[in-house]
Structure 1
Amino acid sequence: MGSGPAPPRATAAWATTALLAAALLGCAAGTGRSADAPTPAGTPPERLCADLITHWAGVILDAGDPADAVGLDYQAMGLSGDQYEILRAVLDGARAVRRDEGAPAARAFGAREAERRCAERHRTGTPTDGPWG
């Protein structure tokens, strides 16, 4: 393996990850709240969850299958373990929709399913099983 520049796809994925992580950390910094707590701007945690899942589902669907096509694990994506499980479930359904109805329908399905599953995850408030739950 050489030490040349990273492939463009990997560079773009890492840049996206860095921006998402900086945004999430910046929102939680100085508030005395965890990253799962509402941000000062009032973005509820279920919305942040759905936005992250929708983003990564789109990136992975665009990159091709399987999920490691983008070369990142769940932590590099800025996801918790539970969020990664949601992403995997969303991708399973979105791939079936893409096969039957095409990419736009798969993206729409992914967004709806991410919202539904993240709302369910936060149904009783902020998850309490630690920062990676």
Structure 2
Amino acid sequence: MTSDVDLCVSIVVHWSREVLDGRGYGDYQSMGMSGGQYDILRETVDVARAALRKGTATRDNVGLLTGRQARERCSARYRDGRPPEGPWR
């Protein structure tokens, strides 16, 4: 069985790749994400774009960065075993 953290990481990494390649589309619901997961996606993409601009990441290794960012943020989100309360969180 896939954990909530692993599922979150998987979806955030997938959509990070799509967004960074210019193929992201729609809103979080059309991506199959919760609002909280979408927040993680936006934060992860922002960090990756900044690293690409600064030259501390390349197109070849930016996936490692997005994977680490997604893992850290998703782990924090599900640290109590479930996401925070609220609609679409």
Fold conserved between structures, TM > 0.5: yes
Q: Which residue of 1 aligns with 2:64?
A: 108
Q: CA deviation at 1:130?
A: 4.6
Radius of gyration: which is bigger?
1
Q: Could you report, residue by residue, the CA deviation over 1:5-45 in whole angstroms, capped at 9, with x for unpaired residues?
A: xxxxxxxxxxxxxxxxxxxxxxxxxxxxxxxxxxxxx1101
Query: Which gives a bigger RCO, structure 1 or 2 (Cα 8 Å, sep 6+)?
Result: 2
Q: Which residue of 2 aligns with 1:30?
A: none
Q: Which residue of 2 aligns with 1:53?
A: 12
Say yes or no: does 1:75 pair with 2:29: yes
- Map of 1:19-38 to 2, 5 A cutoff? none
Kindly report the root-mean-square deviation, in angstroms, between the aligned alpha carbons of the 2 structures: 1.5
Work out the CA distance in 2 between the residues paired with 1:89 and 1:70: 15
- SS of equivalent to 2:21: helix
Q: Which runs of 5+ in 2 are unaligned?
A: none
TM-score by length of 2: 0.88
Q: CA deviation at 1:74?
A: 0.7
Work out the CA distance in 2 between the residues paired with 1:115 and 1:131: 23
Say yes or no: does 1:120 pair with 2:79: no
Q: Which runs of 5+ in 1 are unaligned?
A: 1-41, 64-68
46 and 131 in structure 1: CA distance in 2 versus 1, 3 angstrom threshold:
farther
Q: CA deviation at 1:115?
A: 0.7
Q: Which contiguous aligned blocks of 4+ residues in structure 1 show a shift greater than 3 angstroms?
A: none
- SS of equivalent to 1:119: helix
TM-score by length of 1: 0.61
Q: Percent identity?
A: 40
Q: Which residue of 2 aligns with 1:93?
A: 47
